[in-house]
Amino acid sequence: MKLKFNFKMEQTAMHRRPLANGQHSAVELCNCGTIHVTIGPLTFRIPPEVYDSLCDTLVQGLVALKLEGTPVKSLAAAARA
């Protein structure tokens, strides 16, 4: 049985501009407005309003860990040590 699809995909060149790079992660801005967050082998395509909320949540988590005394080292701090 052969399946046929009756739709055409528009081919638009997507270009990503690097915003930040770390040892295990990267953040890029796509010309379509989507923010690409790469962590190891995974890349997440995130709308800007969700990215802003994600950053707030990650910072809150980091602060909570530090307040409870859980050792958390940034990669930059670990590289300087």
73 pLDDT higher than 80: no
DSSP H or E segment with residue 67: helix 48-67
- pTM reported for the whole predicted model: 0.68
Q: DSSP letters along 4-60, please?
A: ------------EEEEEE-SSEEEEEETTSPEEEEETTEEEEE-HHHHHHHHHHHHH
Per-residue pLDDT tens over the stretch 29-46: 999 999 999 999 999 999
Domain ranges of the chain: 16-71
pLDDT band at 75 (very low <50, low <70, confident <90, very high): very low
Per-residue pLDDT tens over the stretch 12-29: 788 999 999 998 999 999
